[in-house]
């Protein structure tokens, strides 16, 4: 039988032991003061003039993905067209309550705007 300390460890026990190991007080190689082991792995980096922090582009439009696109088809009906919410067309299928896009008869959500259909 092994006498290693991690022989019968669960992931939680391993993580706890690692956290305790990182928190142990050790002597710093630069100076003779004691610091937590974690500080030995930290590096201070100066900001690079070539790398500029830019704001991420956040777009709140509904874009179906994953199972929704497979369930409702890959095309998004009515994107880029002028939307008339109060116009209802009498055709095979149905139109969105909110934006008027053409939908499948069994659609529960609009593929263009994401609104729930009644």
- Span 22-75, pLDDT tens digits: 999 999 888 889 999 999 888 777 766 666 777 888 888 877 777 777 665 545
Q: Which is it for the CA torsion 65, 66, 68, 74, positive or negative?
A: positive
- Mean pLDDT of the chain, nearest integer: 76
Dihedral of CA atoms 99, 62, 108, 79 in degrees, nearest 10, equals: 50
Count: domains in the chain: 2
Which of these, 98, 83, 116, 89, lies nearest to 107 by C-alpha position?
116
* Same domain? 34 vs 66: no
* Same domain? 117 vs 68: yes
- Residue 99, in any domain of the structure: yes
Which distant-in-sequence residues (6+ apart) come within 8 Å of 90 by Cβ?
none
Residue 34's pLDDT is what?
93
* Same domain? 29 vs 69: no
Range of the domain at 21: 11-38
């Amino acid at each position: 039988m092994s006498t290693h300390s991690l022989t019968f460890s669960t992931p939680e026990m391993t993580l706890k032991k690692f956290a305790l190991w990182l928190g142990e007080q050790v002597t710093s190689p630069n100076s003779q003061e004691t610091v937590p082991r974690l500080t030995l792995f930290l590096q201070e980096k100066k900001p690079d003039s070539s790398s500029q922090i830019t704001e991420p582009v956040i777009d709140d439009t509904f874009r179906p993905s994953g199972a929704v696109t497979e369930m409702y088809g890959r095309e998004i009906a009515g994107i880029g067209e002028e939307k008339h919410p109060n116009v209802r067309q009498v055709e095979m299928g149905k139109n969105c309550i909110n934006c008027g896009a053409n939908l499948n008869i069994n659609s529960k959500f609009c593929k263009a705007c994401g609104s729930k259909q009644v």
